[in-house]
Amino acid sequence: MSIEAFVPIQGFAVKANEFIMRSKPVADISALLSKQDPGSFNLVGEPGTGKTSLLHYAYRVKLGSRKTQKGLYVWIGASEILDYDAAGIWRHGLECLKKEEAAEGINRPLDIQTREARDLFQAFQAEVDWLLVKGGYARITLLVDDFDLIVPVMGVDSLRWLRSFVTLSDGRVVLGVASTDPIQDVVNKHYLPPSLPSPPFNYVTSVQLGLLETHEAVNLINKLAETMGGMPPDKGELRALLDEAGRHIELLKIACEYYFALKAKRRASKKGDRVSEGVLWSDFRFDSQVRSRCRQLILRRLTEERLALTSIDEADPHVDPSLLKQLERKGLVEERANHWKLFGEVLSYWLPRWADLGGPELPRTIIKADFEYLPDQRQVRVVDRLIQLTALEDRLLRYLASHSNRLCSKTELLANVWGRNRSITVVEKTVNRLRARIEADPARPQLLISHYGGGYLLRTS
């Protein structure tokens, strides 16, 4: 039988932007948006968990809107922005707002020639103000997909403008964003603390997406089977699909495409198609999208998380319970019959092939002004002094250097530099000792910066 028989039939399955009901997150978002003083939210989930679908569903049905109030929902897709800078972001937002106005029958001319981000923001703000004051709208809900794509290029000023714009509106402007990581973590990664003295997104409620509920996964499988024109799967087929792809929404869809395409081929073949399911799952696992997604899920993990995933896959019962819960929230593991398992056999297959791959390669030297780190020699040059680091100091600096200009929490440093069964105070003591050796004035550090959130970053730019 040719490989073409296993290729998913294009267009038969649930479309990428079609929403599969997730009762709890939908209820959470609806509760936030239906309040008299509605709250902004951040939909957080690993790649492929359906963030875009859920956010677009909220847009389409005007989730949480009050029948007694006139509201406008604005869809802003960050991946559709043409010019990735602050001005391009505000221009795109303004265009999306005008598109929604046109759909409502509002045709207010707007001719913006400026290329300045501040002018475009002020035009956006003025348009929203007009809708609220003269247009008769009680609330404007801005729904931004892939928000983490634009944070690095927004700049400090735009982040501050957005925060003030939303928080000073008295609940009349609501922000809903989807991102892979919590948006405040994304901001911390790209902006140094002195530039943003207060967290710009501490007013946003996080809504975490993980695996589908079991009944939601079964409903999805039945819907895909119906779309193919076949009979509903029996219990054995449901078990096979859930064992292989788990309740990960994207991977389960692709598994169903392969499985039901094979069933359709069998029905159409007069000779009878007897290809084993082992061959089917092999082709599923090596599907380019499946392979890429599993690789992404694994390589996004911290070293501590990868070790935990490997231990779970090997049925090691000695895994930190807090780590288990963290991985469960992210939709990477689940508890079955009182045992923790990876969400599907497909992840178990790819984990040992990628778990040992590291993050970005550490450059030979990291230089800032009169500071140079020489990892090969385990040395630091500060002005005209050459300092030989201890093994522990080098491990700490090496980790911070490989994540330079990004906030690393004390818990993250403890896990990746020291390992288990150590107190958080060892991080603080080692950082203070390292500062005393590499900073010109340890009381006013310029390289190894503390952060109000309880972590440190190595500032190299």
User: What digits encode the pLDDT tens for the residues 421-452?
Assistant: 567 888 888 898 899 888 888 888 888 988 76
Q: For residues 380 and 456, is the Cβ–Cβ distance under 8 A?
A: no
> Please, what is the average pLDDT of the chain?
83
Q: Which of 174, 161, 139 is nearest to 42 (CA)?
A: 174
Category of 453 on φ-ψ map: left (φ > 0), alpha (ψ -120 to 50) or beta: alpha
Q: Which of 206, 92, 94 is nearest to 149 (CA)?
A: 92
Amino acid making up residue 440: A
pLDDT surpassing 60 at residue 11: no
Residue 328 has a pLDDT of 94
pLDDT surpassing 90 at residue 155: no
Instruction: Name the pTM for this structure.
Output: 0.71
Q: May I ask the CATH architecture of the domain 366-458?
A: Orthogonal Bundle (1.10)
Which of the two residues, 368 and 326, has the higher pLDDT score?
326
Domains of the chain, residue spans: 3-15+212-286, 23-209, 292-354, 366-458
Give whichever of 11-25, 157-171, 447-461 has the largest mean pLDDT. Answer: 157-171
Residue 272 has a pLDDT of 52
Question: Which residues in 328-346 are b (16+ Cβ under 10 Å) and which e?
Answer: bbbbbbbeeeeebbbbbbb
What mean pLDDT comes out for the span 29-57? 91
Q: How confident is the model at residue 378 (pLDDT cuts 50, 70, 90)?
A: confident
Residue 277 has a pLDDT of 67
pLDDT surpassing 70 at residue 138: yes
pLDDT surpassing 50 at residue 8: no
Domains 23-209 and 292-354 share a fold: no
Q: Which helix (H) or strand (E) holds 285?
A: helix 277-285
What mean pLDDT comes out for the span 286-292? 88
Q: List pLDDT tens digits, range 178-206.
A: 999 998 888 887 776 666 656 667 778 99
Residue 193 has a pLDDT of 62
pLDDT surpassing 50 at residue 359: no
Q: Which of 40, 30, 29, 70 is nearest to 174 (CA)?
A: 40
Which of the two residues, 256 and 316, has the higher pLDDT score?
256
Q: How confident is the model at residue 153 (pLDDT cuts 50, 70, 90)?
A: confident
Q: How confident is the model at residue 89 (pLDDT cuts 50, 70, 90)?
A: very high
Range with the poorest average pLDDT among 14-23, 258-267, 434-443 = 14-23
Percent of the chain with pLDDT over 90: 37
Which of the two residues, 94 and 374, has the higher pLDDT score?
94
Q: Determine the topology of domain 23-209 in CATH.
A: Rossmann fold (3.40.50)
pLDDT surpassing 60 at residue 374: yes
Residue 198 has a pLDDT of 63
Q: What is the CATH number of domain 292-354?
A: 1.10.10
Q: List pLDDT tens digits, range 25-39.
A: 999 999 999 888 888
Residue 452 has a pLDDT of 67
Q: Write phi, then psi, for 300 (nearest 5 degrees).
A: -75, -15
pLDDT surpassing 70 at residue 213: yes
What mean pLDDT comes out for the span 83-89? 87
Q: Is 163 helix (H, G, I), strand (E, B) or coil?
A: helix
Q: List, in sequence order, the alpha helices (H) in 34-146.
A: 51-60, 86-103, 117-133
pLDDT surpassing 70 at residue 7: no
pLDDT surpassing 60 at residue 271: no
Which of the two residues, 179 and 356, has the higher pLDDT score?
179
Residues 6 or more apart in contact with residue 278 via CB below 8 angstroms: none
Residue 13 has a pLDDT of 35
Which of the two residues, 257 and 354, has the higher pLDDT score?
257
Range with the poorest average pLDDT among 83-87, 201-205, 289-293, 434-438 = 201-205
Residue 273 has a pLDDT of 47
Residue 139 has a pLDDT of 94
Which of the two residues, 194 and 298, has the higher pLDDT score?
298
Residue 369 has a pLDDT of 62
Q: Is 66 exposed, middle or buried (0-12, 13-18, 19+ CB in 10 A)?
A: middle
Residue 71 has a pLDDT of 92
Q: Put the strands of the sheet holding 455-458 in their side by side order.
A: 408-409, 455-458, 448-451
pLDDT surpassing 50 at residue 4: no
Residue 221 has a pLDDT of 92
Q: Which of 30, 44, 103 is nearest to 300 (CA)?
A: 44
Range with the poorest average pLDDT among 32-36, 79-83, 90-94, 282-286 = 79-83
**Paired tokens of 63:** 């989730």
pLDDT surpassing 90 at residue 230: no
